[in-house]
Amino acid sequence: MGQPKYLTGDSAAINAFIDQFDVFLLDCDGVLWSGDHLFEGIVETLEFLRSKGKRVVFVTNNSTKSRPDYQKKLTALGIPSNVEEIFASAYSAAVYISRIMKLPAPKNKVFVIGESGIETELRAEGVPFVGGTDPALRRDITPEDFTGLADGSLLDPDVGVVLAGLDFHINYLKLSMGYQYLQRGAKFLATNLDSTLPTNHTFFPGAGSISIPLINMTGQNPTALGKPSQAMMDAIEGKFQLDRARTCMVGDRLDTDIQFGIQGKLGGTLAVLTGVSKKEQWEAEGANIVPSFYVDRLSDLRAAAS
Amino acid sequence: MGQPKYLTGDSAAINAFIDQFDVFLLDCDGVLWSGDHLFEGIVETLEFLRSKGKRVVFVTNNSTKSRPDYQKKLTALGIPSNVEEIFASAYSAAVYISRIMKLPAPKNKVFVIGESGIETELRAEGVPFVGGTDPALRRDITPEDFTGLADGSLLDPDVGVVLAGLDFHINYLKLSMGYQYLQRGAKFLATNLDSTLPTNHTFFPGAGSISIPLINMTGQNPTALGKPSQAMMDAIEGKFQLDRARTCMVGDRLDTDIQFGIQGKLGGTLAVLTGVSKKEQWEAEGANIVPSFYVDRLSDLRAAAS
């Protein structure tokens, strides 16, 4: 496979790159910021792209935040944005359930393993749910739970979907409930399958490490609604009516962001070196995920402005 | 592959079967009992085998109980036994750490994800540990935990092993700690890798569904000390000085019990139909785990006594 074009410091190449695209799908963590630290020059770079008539869409696998939550984070970091420019995996999952699955009542409730961002998005789409942040499930499993889950008396008969995202309050009880719903025929969805959550310059368990016990127990793989799942790309395309050939995916992770753009047959993919993946990964022999362009940092694109 | 010999109701075949072996390794749940329900005729069947000079060893992947805990369970169900006849995965793991790994101090502490059975066995072998049932870890993760785990200040520098078993109190904090220890070079062990725990006529998450988030995050596979791992067979052979050719593994699960006996090149394997696996599984075309004998229930062996 060919190697990506390196744009940093090459104004002519950057101008040609920008001219190729109308839409930039931007991963956030590792591209715009790390944790709560905004990278230098990001606000100016986004302004520069917008000033050239480009549309930017913030695309994130973070499932703990709703779009309004996410906009608050962007605002707090000084990044101007609109809720409609934000596409997060919790929103992607809620839209998939309400507009694509369209489960008939009464068997249309969602058992949520995850945080409030998922609940907010489900509520906005009018999807009924149980679980999630319910304090009644944030406790140890009891002998009564074992019998009540086995005979089904503790289960909601209207649950037709198990949706698993990142849950900082994961426990044995929730995993047991999720398993019982799946065994009774509920559809299995995941906001995203990232194995890790990069934060504080290290890694913590990601959404994919919350759902994997259920995969292990049932032998079923969930339909994932985050990058690199093309269910998310289809939803983005449907919403923004974008021309894939003139759209570029920008990200720091080869296995989620860059793969997402390649599988989605976008016009291009741009890797940045401010996050997880290193250039040694695509330079390695037999590398199977190679971006079309790369820069050291996103703000290197501003060089074309001067 | 040939099909197993069906022994139920065939006294001559049962006599010939029993004569072939000196030692019977008995899985417990699904063979002797289900949950707290002892199967009919089990006590008499064990007495019958012992009366014929056979040695019985109770071999279980249950990692939540120490051998003394397990003996209490046997006694409560009316099964006479000796602690020395019991071989459980928590014991197997403790013996492996103390007698085979022999980590030099000070980097010889074990971070335990699991219940008190593991702690009892580690203590009996003189292995220092942290985690486990420590109430300080039975709580939600806090922002201070994220920073303290990232900078290492909340980690014990002497931890050299992460040992994961069945933990009814699994949470995000323990998974995060386990991951940080593994990233810092700790060896990765698991008491066993059963994906499910059969109980109350259904399934709950097993030890293998507790450790799998760490496998998913690190890409490392743990050394497993329960069936079908041959590390457990080697330990049993070492302890009981048994002749593998005259030893039979008895169990209800093809992928753990029967596989354990086949890989261990025992003289025979006996499947019972009172637990998880069904005869359709080994009768299916392309079945790759086939026992050498099977009975409907263990007590069918008593037919030879009459």
**Three-state DSSP string of chain B:** CCCCEECCCCHHHHHHHHHCCCEEEECCECCCEECCEECCCHHHHHHHHHHCCCEEEEEECCCCCCHHHHHHHHHHCCCCCCHHHEEEHHHHHHHHHHHHHCCCCCCCEEEEECCHHHHHHHHHCCCCEEECCCHHHCCCCCHHHHHHHHCCCCCCCCEEEEEECCCCCCCHHHHHHHHHHHHCCCEEEECCCCCEEEECCEEEECHHHHHHHHHHHHCCCCEECCCCCHHHHHHHHHHHCCCHHHEEEEECCHHHHHHHHHHCCCCEEEEECCCCCCHHHHHCCCCCCCCCEEECCHHHHHHHHC
Q: What is the pLDDT of residue A58?
A: 97
Question: For residue B99, what pLDDT band results from cuts at 50, 70 and 90?
Answer: confident
CA angle B74, B203, A112 (to 5 degrees): 140
B148 chain-A contacts, CB cut-off 8 A? none
Q: What is the pLDDT of residue B157?
A: 97
Average pLDDT over residues B180-195: 97
- Distances A178 to A145, A174, A211, A226, B206 between C-alpha atoms, Å: 13, 6, 9, 20, 14
Tell me what the pLDDT averaged over chain B comes to. Answer: 95
* Percent of chain A at pLDDT exceeding 90: 89
CATH number of B104-224: 3.40.50.1000
A22 flagged as catalytic: yes
Question: For residue B7, what pLDDT band results from cuts at 50, 70 and 90?
Answer: very high
pLDDT of B204 above 60: yes
Indicate where chain B has its CATH 3.40.50.1000 domain(s).
5-61+228-305, 104-224
Token code pair at residue B144: 């201070």
Distance CA(A206)–CA(B277), nearest Å, equals: 34
Average pLDDT over residues B60-71: 93
**Residue A124: how many CB atoms within 10 A of its CB?**
15
Q: What is the pLDDT of residue B306?
A: 56
What single-letter amino acid sits at B168?
F
Distance CA(A11)–CA(A119), nearest Å, equals: 45
Distance from CA of B36 to the nearest CA of A (A): 13
> DSSP letters of A187-236?
EEEES---SEEEETTEEEE-HHHHHHHHHHHH-PPPEE-STT-HHHHHHH
* Catalytically annotated residue among B10, B19, B22, B243: B22
- Write the CB contacts of B75 (distance below 8 Å, at least 6 apart in sequence): B81
Question: For residue B160, what pLDDT band results from cuts at 50, 70 and 90?
Answer: very high
Average pLDDT over residues B149-155: 98
Q: What is the pLDDT of residue B36?
A: 82
pLDDT of B305 above 70: no
List, for residues A60-89, the tens digit of each pLDDT value: 999 999 999 999 999 999 999 999 999 999
**Closest A-chain CA to B141:** A168
Question: For residue B97, what pLDDT band results from cuts at 50, 70 and 90?
Answer: very high
Do B209 and A209 lie within an 8 Å CB cutoff?
no
Do B179 and A204 lie within an 8 Å CB cutoff?
yes
pLDDT of A154 above 90: yes
* Fold (CATH) for A5-55+240-305: Rossmann fold (3.40.50)
* Catalytically annotated residue among A10, A19, A22, A145: A22
pLDDT of A1 above 60: no
Do B217 and A210 lie within an 8 Å CB cutoff?
no
Sign of the alpha-carbon dihedral angle for A148, A152, A156, A162? positive
List, for residues B269-301, the tens digit of each pLDDT value: 999 999 989 999 999 988 999 999 999 999 999
* Fold (CATH) for A90-224: Rossmann fold (3.40.50)
pLDDT of B238 above 90: no
pLDDT of A182 above 80: yes
B202 chain-A contacts, CB cut-off 8 A? 149-150, 180, 183
Do A200 and B140 lie within an 8 Å CB cutoff?
no
Ranges assigned E (strand) in chain A: 5-6, 23-26, 33-34, 37-38, 55-60, 86-88, 109-113, 129-131, 159-164, 187-190, 196-199, 202-205, 223-224, 247-251, 268-272, 293-295
What single-letter amino acid sits at B28?
C
- A→B interface, C-beta within 8 Å: 138, 140-141, 146-147, 149-151, 167-172, 175-176, 179-180, 183, 195-196, 199-206, 208-210, 212-213, 216-217
From the list A138, A202, A208, which residue is nearest B216 (CB)? A208
List, for residues A83-137, the tens digit of each pLDDT value: 999 999 999 999 999 988 999 999 999 999 999 999 999 999 999 999 999 999 9
Judging by beta carbons within 10 Å of its beta carbon (0-12, 13-18, 19+), is residue B45 exposed, middle or buried?
A: buried
CB B294 within 8 A of CB B4: yes
- Distances A33 to A79, B142, B239 between C-alpha atoms, Å: 11, 22, 57
Distance from CA of B204 to the nearest CA of A (A): 6
Question: For residue B148, what pLDDT band results from cuts at 50, 70 and 90?
Answer: very high
Do A140 and B168 lie within an 8 Å CB cutoff?
yes
Average pLDDT over residues B89-111: 93
* Percent of chain A at pLDDT exceeding 70: 99
Q: What is the pLDDT of residue B2?
A: 80
List, for residues B210-223, the tens digit of each pLDDT value: 999 999 999 999 99
B196 chain-A contacts, CB cut-off 8 A? 217
Q: What is the pLDDT of residue B1?
A: 57
Question: For residue A306, what pLDDT band results from cuts at 50, 70 and 90?
Answer: low
List A112's β-bridge partners, or say none. A131, A163
Of B263, B253, B250, the C-alpha closest to B293 is B250
What single-letter amino acid sits at A107?
K
Do B168 and A209 lie within an 8 Å CB cutoff?
no
Q: What is the pLDDT of residue A34?
A: 87
Average pLDDT over residues B169-191: 98
pLDDT of A248 above 60: yes
Q: What is the pLDDT of residue B235?
A: 85
pLDDT of A305 above 80: no
Q: Do strands B33-34 and B37-38 pair parallel, antiparallel, or not at all (unpaired)?
A: antiparallel
A172 chain-B contacts, CB cut-off 8 A? 167-170, 204-205
Do B205 and A179 lie within an 8 Å CB cutoff?
yes
What single-letter amino acid sits at A29?
D
pLDDT of A218 above 90: yes
* Fold (CATH) for B5-61+228-305: Rossmann fold (3.40.50)
Q: What is the pLDDT of residue A63?
A: 92
State phi, psi for A23 to the nearest 5 degrees.
-130, 135
Distance CA(B189)–CA(B96), nearest Å, equals: 10
Q: B204, B212, B215, B221: best mutation site toward chain A, by most A Cβ within 10 Å?
A: B204
Question: For residue B229, what pLDDT band results from cuts at 50, 70 and 90?
Answer: very high
Do B205 and A169 lie within an 8 Å CB cutoff?
no
Q: What is the pLDDT of residue B202?
A: 92
Indicate where chain A has its CATH 3.40.50.1000 domain(s).
5-55+240-305, 90-224
Q: Do strands B55-60 and A129-131 pair parallel, antiparallel, or not at all (unpaired)?
A: unpaired
Distance CA(B281)–CA(B253), nearest Å, equals: 10
List, for residues A251-301, the tens digit of each pLDDT value: 999 999 999 999 999 999 999 999 989 999 999 988 999 999 999 999 999
Question: For residue B200, what pLDDT band results from cuts at 50, 70 and 90?
Answer: confident
Average pLDDT over residues B129-150: 97
